[in-house]
């Protein structure tokens, strides 16, 4: 266990390098279990969520070499040992559900423990079950585990019950090895699904329609070894640093931001009065995405006149929605934040009241944020959800004085060297080990 001490009120400066995408990395790591050969992944974020997936894969017999920081080499050629699955690792990350699709073509039956991740209220797995059953995967929900029976895969034309990122990824993983042509309608087109599809195509899959809500997939007999695939940059981490820059009223550049997955967020911020400049447009390291640098200057902010809510891509990202809250707290006026997709996440914004933020909870999905707020230092325990937890850190950066943030594992799940990165940009954060 550890906690962090933040001496807030300091300006950020210089350039902050964005990290690679957590959700892409965990999806592609799981997908490697479907490749009976060597896979080399680069730009893999060194975060707790990735460590849990690596522990999970090692436990079932995947050969993993992660000795070089940022590079993971996997080989799933040998028979797998699902009975030996790492229960604690499985239970700590919801991304373990991606094994449903990844193992659909190679394991006849197995059990996998029910997963954790952010505590966001009831999070249905029905979209996974409904999608996968069309391809021949039967999943029974038991008290503490899922019992999976894989029948010979078959092509299917399906409509996603819910346009979820992980559920779509599972459907894609099953379809790429199902004989025949499959279509997936109402598919998520979000960044991690696109990144997964580009990786799978490099492994010999035949996926078209990437970036749209209708995917067409022609099944192949097997996936091939991948010499190297670089994980894309993370739009949510980029938005986190953008929020930190605005809340601390800093002059700072956030580098390597995936533009397509931040355009609406940046536009809304500009409508609030944020002084943002997009610079140096180029291709990501894997060549599939446009990336830019975002230059931020101290800004006088006004509240959005309309409510703000998350939507499936190309709408405002569901995980970026909470990151508007500390920014709205400094804006003159009142804004309704509607987090309709998760049952409990909006409730966690109440923790920001301890730092002076004016938050009114209307119901489990909606809050009013009223500003401008003078942020105050305090001691807070991270809520059990990644983005609401990092929101507290952002607010503490903007609050003059000494703050203490506890239970930071929630943040460490998704952020690589966050405190060191912020310190290099001018913050004053000390990690204390207990």
Label each residue of the chain as H, E or C: CEEEEEEECCCCCCEEECCECHHHHHHHHHHHHHCCCEEEEECCCCCHHHHHHHHHHHHCCCEEECCCCCCEEEECCCCCCHHHCCHHHHHHCHHHHHHHHHCCCCCCEEEEECCCCCCCCCCCCHHHHHHHHCCCEEEEECCCEEEEEECCCCCCEEECCCCCHHHHHHHHHHHCCCCCEEEEECCCCCHHHHHHHHHHHHCCCEEECCCCCEEEEECCCCCCCEEEEECCECHHHHHHHHHHHHHCCCCEEEEEEEHHHCHHHHHHHHHCCCEEEEEEEEECCCCCCEEEEEEEECCCCECCCCCEECCCCCCCCCCCHHHHHHHHCCCEEEEEEECCCCCCHHHHHHHHHHHCCEEEEEECCEEEEEECCCCECCEEECCCCHHHHHHHHHHHHHCEEEEEEECCHHHHCCCCCHHHHHHHCCCCEEEEEC
Catalytic residues: 118
């Amino acid at each position: 266990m550890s906690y962090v001490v933040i001496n807030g009120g300091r300006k950020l400066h210089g350039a902050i390098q964005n990290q690679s995408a957590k959700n892409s990395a965990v999806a592609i790591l799981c997908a490697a279990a479907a490749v009976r050969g060597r896979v080399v992944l680069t730009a893999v974020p060194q975060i707790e969520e990735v460590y849990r997936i690596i522990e999970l894969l090692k436990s079932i017999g995947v050969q993993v070499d992660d000795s070089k920081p940022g590079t993971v080499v996997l080989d799933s050629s040998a028979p797998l040992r699902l009975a030996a699955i790492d229960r604690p690792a499985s239970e700590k990350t919801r991304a373990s559900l991606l094994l449903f699709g990844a193992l659909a073509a190679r394991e006849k039956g197995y059990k996998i423990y029910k997963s954790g991740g952010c505590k966001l209220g009831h999070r249905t797995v029905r979209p996974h079950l409904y999608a996968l059953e069309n391809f021949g995967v039967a999943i029974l929900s038991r008290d503490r585990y899922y019992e999976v029976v894989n029948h010979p895969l078959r092509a299917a034309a399906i409509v996603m019950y819910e346009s979820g990122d992980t559920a779509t990824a599972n459907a894609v993983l099953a379809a790429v090895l199902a004989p025949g042509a499959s279509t997936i309608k109402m598919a998520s087109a979000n960044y991690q699904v696109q990144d997964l599809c580009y990786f799978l195509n490099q492994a010999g899959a035949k996926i078209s329609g990437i970036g749209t809500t209708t995917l067409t997939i022609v099944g192949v007999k097997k996936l091939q070894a991948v010499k190297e695939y670089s994980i894309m940059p993370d739009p949510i981490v980029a938005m986190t640093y953008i929020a930190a820059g605005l809340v601390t009223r800093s002059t700072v550049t956030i580098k390597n931001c995936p533009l397509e997955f931040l355009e609406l967020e940046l536009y809304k911020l500009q409508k609030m009065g944020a002084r943002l400049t997009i610079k140096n447009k180029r291709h990501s390291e894997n060549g599939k995405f446009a990336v830019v640098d975002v230059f931020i200057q101290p800004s006088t902010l006004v509240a959005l006149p309309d409510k703000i809510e998350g939507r499936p891509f190309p709408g405002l990202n569901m995980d970026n929605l909470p990151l508007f809250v500390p920014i709205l707290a400094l804006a003159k006026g009142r804004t309704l934040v509607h987090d309709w997709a998760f049952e409990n996440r909006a409730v966690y914004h109440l923790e920001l009241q301890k730092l002076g933020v004016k938050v009114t909870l209307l119901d489990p999905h909606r809050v009013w944020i009223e500003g401008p707020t003078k942020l105050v230092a305090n001691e807070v325990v991270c809520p059990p959800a990644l983005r609401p937890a990092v929101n507290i850190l952002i607010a503490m950066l903007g609050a003059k004085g000494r703050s203490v943030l506890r239970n930071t594992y929630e943040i460490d799940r998704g952020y690589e060297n966050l405190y060191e990165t912020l310190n290099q940009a001018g913050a004053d954060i000390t990690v204390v080990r207990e």
